[in-house]
Chains A and B, each alone.
Chain A
Amino acid sequence: MFVSRSMSRKVVTIYKDATVVEAREKLDKHHIRHLPVVEKDDILIGIVTDRDVRSAMPSVHLQSGHLNGDGNVLADIKVKDFMTIAPAVVTLSDTIQDALLLLQEKRVGALPVVDKQGRVKGILSVRDLMRTFIQVLGIGEPGTLVGVVVEEKVGQLKKVVDAITEEEISFGSVLVAKHWDKNKRAVFAYLLTLNISAVKRKLAKLGYELIDPMDWAIEQPSNSD
């Protein structure tokens, strides 16, 4: 899963000498939150967010009071004065997993996507990632979630997948998660069918423990924001 498949290719960018007013207009017009700042040839040098723009503006109003000038001062505030220099980026060959971890690490809402020369080729936002993960989970299609406990041994997962495939049921997705028993894994299969009772009976007959969905709690990260 590469970033290039999930990113938005239409990127609205801005130059560092543009004013804060221009930046705000671009954000409003395109209903976006991030503007990569570029030089000639789309080389990335920074990024500004709607938040940066908002916090750059009131201070200007304050100043303008003191200076007794109106739009002039706003026009003096340039993107280069408040942009984030050298922002976190991903490259076209980075994976979605890379992007996810980087977004969490840097606590940002979007990552510009650049090529080897540092030219902006796209942008990957949390929204793009959500869309991708709805696809990955398969939940845009009709189906049913089934949870099974398997032993942490070679070939166990395959047996479950085979048993379900034999019933001619398609998979929307399969997630494997840690189980509280260290020697076991919890397998969550999203099956594209309503006809679920036969497959559940079959798995039980093969000796698998079906997970009561209400007993399942995914571990909460301790230091999330």
Chain B
Amino acid sequence: MRRTGFLFDRRFLLHETGPYHPETPERLDAIYKGIEEGGLFDKLTVIQACRADDAWIESVHDKKYIDRFRDTCVAGRKVLDYPDNQMCGDTYDIAYLAVGGILKTIDKVMDGTLDNAFCAVRPPGHHAEIDTAMGFCYFNNVAIAARYLQQQWQIGRVGIVDFDVHHGNGTQHIFEKDASVFYYSIHQHPSFAYPGTGREFETGSGKGHGFTKNSPALPGHSDSDYQSLIEADLLPAFENFVPEMILLSTGFDAHEDDDMSDINLSTEWYSWMMEKMIELADKYSNGRLISVLEGGYCLERLPELARNHVTILLQD
């Protein structure tokens, strides 16, 4: 059995998005429930979140944006930048906690206390741009994690795999000129899904050219299409890049029962994907792997998806 961390903090539930919003606290309840029902808590190391240092948030985001986020929150306004980004008075603090918890998890994996981890955080991060909140995201959790790995733990090459059904525009843009971070994303084709980026011809720019790879999938595509794309696009890309550490932007919203998209993945595909990711981690990063939650909105499916996710992280 591997030593697997589970970042979970009840305070992540305090980020309220109002009625009619799919990114709800209940998502984390569902994930927690699934892991509990699987009897997995005894096997996991539960990690409590803590507030991130400003410096790490600022390693990705503009100071002016961070201040604007704070001021909007303190003033009691409910929306930042786009109507999608509904928030409450606690949102700013919770976003700091999510990042802080992920960085704490990185420390435990990098100092050898843990092999891998699943960070069940809210709010999600991959749509957040350097200076703009987008698509329910405020701070780009995974992007900050990548910078932290490089600056705090001297990791040279970080590979990010984003399998949320939406393209991680924020993460791509933050690293598009950076050859030390490879961003791979598989998602529903941008002509049919938010945010409208992530086309095959987006491959990075300047020194980062060739270090971004997108696999758009057409509506209706399912397990075998996704599996072929991972094998044809991601595996060779990492073979060339040779990541020293792998971060996952884990989104469960490509599931067939999740109505945020028209991609029809089964629960089994998610297990296949995680087994592949473990293989990659064993091959390139000494087994070290950190998965960070992005989307996934089907409350009926989240328990089993989270349970399988963690079960595979624990397996030898």
- Interface positions of A (Cβ within 8 A of B): 139, 141-145, 167-170, 192-198, 200-201, 212-214
Contacts and interface: CB of A to CB of B under 8 A. Distances in A.
A139 B197 CA distance: 9
A192 B196 CA distance: 10
Contact of B194 (A167, A194, A213, A214): A194
Most chain A CB within 10 A, of B84, B166, B262, is at B84
A214 B195 contact: no
Contact of B84 (A139, A194, A200, A214): A194
Contacts of A144: 192-194, 196
A219 B82 CA distance: 35
Contacts of B259: 197, 200-201
Given A192-B82, A193-B84, A195-B22, A213 B192 contact: yes
Contacts of A145: 191-193
30 contacts: A139-B196, A142-B134, A142-B135, A143-B194, A144-B192, A144-B196, A145-B191, A145-B192, A170-B83, A193-B82, A193-B83, A193-B194, A194-B127, A194-B134, A194-B136, A194-B166, A194-B195, A195-B21, A195-B84, A196-B260, A197-B259, A197-B260, A197-B297, A198-B22, A201-B259, A212-B219, A212-B262, A213-B219, A214-B218, A214-B220
Contacts of B197: 142
Contacts of B20: 167, 195, 198
Nearest to A169: B83
3 closest A-B pairs by CB:
A142-B195, A194-B135, A197-B259
Main secondary structure of the interface of A (DSSP, over half): loop
Given A201-B259, A213-B192, 6 more contacts: A142-B82, A193-B83, A194-B84, A194-B195, A198-B20, A198-B22
Interface in B12-30: 20-22
B311 interface: no
B169 interface: yes
B251 to A, nearest CB: 12
Nearest to A190: B196
Nearest to A196: B260
B169 A142 contact: yes
Contacts of B220: 212, 214
Contacts, number: 63
Nearest to B197: A142
Contacts of A169: 83
Interface in B77-134: 82-84, 127, 134
Nearest to A143: B196
A167 B220 CA distance: 26
A194 B195 CA distance: 7
B22 A213 contact: no
Contacts of A192: 82
A213 B261 CA distance: 12
Most chain A CB within 10 A, of B194, B219, B297, is at B194
Nearest to A172: B196
A175 B169 CA distance: 25
Contacts of A193: 82-84, 194
Contacts of A198: 20, 22
Interface string B25-57: 000000000000000000000000000000000
A214 B22 contact: no
B22 A197 contact: yes
Contacts of A195: 20-22, 84
Contacts of A139: 196
Contacts of B84: 193-195
Interface string B177-211: 00000000000000111111100000000000000
Interface in B144-186: 166, 169
